[in-house]
Amino acid sequence: MEFRRVVVTGLGAVTPLGNNIKEYWEGLKNGVSGCDWITHFDPVNHKTKFACEVKNFDPTQYFDRKEIRTLDLFTLYALVTAEQAVADADLLSANLDVNRVGVLWSSGVGGLKTFQEELDDYFQGGRIPRFSPFFIPKMIPDIAAGHISIKYGFRGPNYSTVSACASSSHSIIDAMTYIRIGWADVIIVGGSESAIIESGIGGFNAMRALSQNNEEYKTASRPFDKTRDGFVMGEGGGGLIIEEYEHARRRGAKIYAEIAGAGMSADAHHLTAPHPGGIGARIVMENALRDAGMKPEDIDYINVHGTATPRGDISEAIAIRDVFGEHANKLNISATKSMTGHLLGAAGAIEAIATILAINNDIIPPTINFKVQDPEIDEKLNITPNKAQKRSVRTGLSNTFGFGGHNTSVIFKEIS
């Protein structure tokens, strides 16, 4: 069958760099660090005392207090982000068939804060089972997609993809597929996360996944740098309006980019560590190029997974060299987690947005905090160190990898 073309017509973001797309992009291109001391709780007894929190987010600007009590923070981020994307796409003024408009919204862990608070109350109350009736609806990862669809009356495909840090990239890929084959015309996709709480920081500390560089916390997220010691936790949300090309063109929508293709793979290696030879990462990028009908030399920019974990960055760098060969020397690569921290299930969404904005502005956002070359990482790779670079960006590839060995790559290109 002949696939329908798929484009992006709206964007929204609530991030550690800013609470809308304009602020987010300004932070990215200027190399701003979103990291600071944790304020969501007192981290005095934790090994890591810093994170990339969302700043100046006041839920009462968007919701009444009664409604706020029924929603976990990750859902609040989702609703605000989705509203931005819907408005940006001018979706509500369009003559939409609501039965063909879906919502695929992701979270890696869902309402972790709600889960922690309810169990705290249970144990402090002598194990008397007095749980809130909103406990389960606030906690489950799929609830954000449900809230968004209810708000707008969209009755198309509706669920949550959960694949750890690859979750919202999988939602983009699923949406692309459904629109390609004609199951939907428009799908709101994205992800949100709010895991900067005691159990979130403590759990990732126990895995030795987080940086513990409290002395230099502002620059602790150091992808590709020899002194990196783990990722920095982030929070927030990113949303995109994914639409069939002819549907978008008929209603006069602005088009940010076309989704040219995508790939998925598994490492089949380890619960939390990437394959040391980058096999899964290599396969997923090859799959994306094949799906897009592109050659390696067609790619200008890669927004890498780049978490600043000791083994993860090496594995991804090996895979890039294997897939792109000599063309890898001509690519720009950047790890925007150096600025935003790692938004877990929302990472794929905000990094897809960063890739699209790089194409729209012909600017490569930097990998900040880079000082010391790691001898195990190919020094010929241009990781766009510390400062944004101007160049023509026709195509960009966004990588997102998750615990469990879940790998995704999505390719965006200029509309033609």
What does pTM read for this prediction?
A: 0.97
Cβ neighbors of 304 (< 8 A, separation 6 or more) are 223, 316, 320, 333, 334, 335, 399
Is the Cβ–Cβ distance between 14 and 236 less than 8 Å?
yes
pLDDT, tens digit, 9 for 90 and up, residues 102-156: 999 999 999 999 999 999 999 998 898 999 999 999 999 999 999 999 999 999 9
Burial status of residue 379 (CB atoms within 10 A of its CB: 0-12, 13-18, 19 or more): exposed
Residue 1: pLDDT over 80: no
pLDDT, tens digit, 9 for 90 and up, residues 215-257: 999 999 999 999 999 999 999 999 999 999 999 999 999 999 9
pLDDT-above-90 percentage for the chain = 97
Domain ranges of the chain: 6-250, 262-413
Residue 387: pLDDT over 80: yes
What is the C-alpha separation between 315 and 347, in angstroms, rounded?
A: 19
What is the β-pairing status of strands 101-106 and 6-14?
unpaired
Q: State both tokens at 392.
A: 């023509």
Residue 29 has a pLDDT of: 98
Same fold, 6-250 and 262-413: yes
pLDDT, tens digit, 9 for 90 and up, residues 320-347: 999 999 999 999 999 999 999 999 999 9
What is the C-alpha separation between 335 and 342, in angstroms, rounded?
A: 10
CATH architecture designation of domain 262-413: 3-Layer(aba) Sandwich (3.40)
Is the Cβ–Cβ distance between 232 and 211 less than 8 Å?
yes
Is the Cβ–Cβ distance between 355 and 303 less than 8 Å?
yes
Active site residues: 165, 305, 342
pLDDT, tens digit, 9 for 90 and up, residues 189-225: 999 999 999 999 999 999 999 999 999 999 999 999 9
Candidate CATH numbers 3.40.30.10, 3.40.47.10, 3.20.20.70, 3.40.50.12710; the one for domain 6-250? 3.40.47.10
Residue 230 has a pLDDT of: 97
Residue 104 has a pLDDT of: 98
Residue 402 has a pLDDT of: 96
What is the C-alpha separation between 173 and 352, in angstroms, rounded?
A: 11
